[in-house]
Structure 1
Amino acid sequence: MKKQKIVITGGPGTGKSSIIRQLEKHGHECLHEISRQVTLEAQKQGIAQLFLEKPVLFSEKLLEGRKIQHREADMIPTSTIFIDRGIPDVLAYMDYFKTEYSTYFTDACTEYTYDKIFFLPPWEEIYQSDNERYESFKEASLISKYLFETYKTYGYNPIEVPKTSIIERTQFILNQIE
């Protein structure tokens, strides 16, 4: 049986982590978002907001981490792996912030691919900011558009997840891959 790498993506505060936790609660293998980890490592080195201070370095570290996750998914002995954000997310954010980047980033999007993309649309009623999520809802909505378009650019047809409860959203995703 072919291994499926399933990406859960969407703008900030759309419920990705909640769905990942729900999937795990029901025994599914999941790989978590790593951007907070990259940010925390930079803070330990004295850089308060690596993404804002050195966006290309942040994106390089994020891309490397996501490539590692992609390879790690191949090693997990199960047929389906859910991943909180994929490699194209890195480019979408750089495009949103008008950051120039080399083919190193675009090449990764064609070399490391996924089987299905589930897209969580902006949802103001559940949006919350925190120490690492500093975007306004309006900014988060615009980032969502960049994410959706970036995945389409790389040949994916993102499946939009309806705005329902976490349990219903999770079941929607599971129904789409069975």
Structure 2
Amino acid sequence: DRMLARELVSYGAADGLAGPVFYDRGLPDVVGYLELCGLPVPATVDTAARRFRYDPIVFIAPFWPEIFTRDAERRQDLAEAERTGTVMARVYPAFGYRLVALPYADVAARVDFVLESLGAAS
């Protein structure tokens, strides 16, 4: 419930902003995390993920074990992070999004890739 509420607040806060808006997570992630934990997806979560839409193109960072680290923000271990990536790569297309995988590259190259994909110059 808290994840859903947080994502709805984030979605609403961006409503009406000019230009592209980037989210680190979205409503389909709530579905993915529920599935990852083996929990049922409540109708309210499914409905919210279908109703509050993002751009049809979603950038996804593929699992990259060589740069994986655990810290205060990333509490998952390596295996759980890999499973999370697999679940999200399945969930987003199930909600009608087209995934574009970020390249295995440094941050600057990934930014350039995203901007080029959006038709903007870096």
TM-score (norm 2): 0.91
Mapped to 2, the partners of 1:162 and 1:132 lie a distance apart of 23
Higher share of residues assigned strand: 1
> Of 85, 101, 111, which aligns to 2:41?
101
**Per-residue Cα deviation, 1:58-80 (whole angstroms, up to 9, x for no partner):** xx11111111111111132x221
Q: Which residue number corresponds to residue 89 of structure 2?
A: 148
* Structure 2 unmatched ranges of 5 or more: none
1:51-62 correspondence to structure 2 within 5 Å: 60-62=1-3
User: What is residue 102 of structure 2 aligned with on the other side?
Assistant: 161
Question: Which runs of 4 or more aligned residues in structure 1 lie more than 3 Å from their structure 2 counterparts after TM superposition?
Answer: none
Q: Which residue of structure 1 aligns with residue 75 of structure 2?
A: 134
TM-score by length of 1: 0.63
Query: Which whole-Å deviations, capped at 9, do the CAs of 1:26-57 have from their partners, x for residues lacking one?
Result: xxxxxxxxxxxxxxxxxxxxxxxxxxxxxxxx
Determine the structure 1 residue equivalent to 2:60. Answer: 119
The one-letter amino acid paired with 1:129 is R
How far apart are 1:91 and its partner, in Å? 0.7
Distance in 1 (CA, whole Å) between partners of 2:32 and 2:110 is 24
Measured in 1, the distance between the counterparts of 2:65 and 2:13 equals: 34
- How many residues end up aligned between the 2 structures? 118
Quote the sequence identity (%): 26
Distance 1:131 1:174 in 2: 29
